[in-house]
């Protein structure tokens, strides 16, 4: 019975350490990433010519190629997005009719 507080203290320390450790989400760089900007942040300015065009798989691939983004997310007018900042991620925003309204990195 005297060992019970020691066991609970050990569990609490172990759980506390597990909650404070940060997962490693680092991905290896994509070959040829960001040809327009240098490799640390995508270059949304390079794809601004797509604003006003329809959103489809071809437009998404073109935007990714132009900006050098590692990943792309498409957000409609009612889409909720996370607020995390990912420099090599391109966000393409569209309106109700599927037209691209803006492109930005992060």
The model's pLDDT over 8-45, given as tens digits with 9 standing for 90+, comes to 555 454 544 444 444 444 444 444 444 444 568 899 99
Beta-bridged to residue 102, according to DSSP, are: 93
Please tell me the distance from the alpha carbon of residue 88 to that of residue 106, in angstroms, as a whole number: 7
The model's pLDDT over 72-93, given as tens digits with 9 standing for 90+, comes to 999 999 999 998 999 999 999 9
Please tell me the distance from the alpha carbon of residue 55 to that of residue 26, in angstroms, as a whole number: 29
Q: What is the value of pTM for the model shown?
A: 0.63
């Amino acid at each position: 019975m005297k060992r019970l507080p020691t066991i609970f203290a050990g569990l609490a320390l172990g759980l506390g350490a597990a909650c404070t450790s940060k997962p490693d989400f680092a991905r290896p760089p994509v070959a040829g990433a960001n040809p327009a900007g240098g490799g640390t942040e995508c270059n949304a300015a390079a794809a601004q010519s797509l604003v006003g065009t329809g959103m489809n798989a071809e437009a998404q691939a073109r935007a990714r190629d132009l900006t050098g983004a590692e990943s792309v997310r498409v957000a409609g007018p009612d889409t909720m997005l996370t607020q995390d900042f990912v420099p090599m991620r391109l966000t393409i925003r569209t309106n109700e009719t599927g037209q691209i309204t803006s492109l930005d990195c992060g």
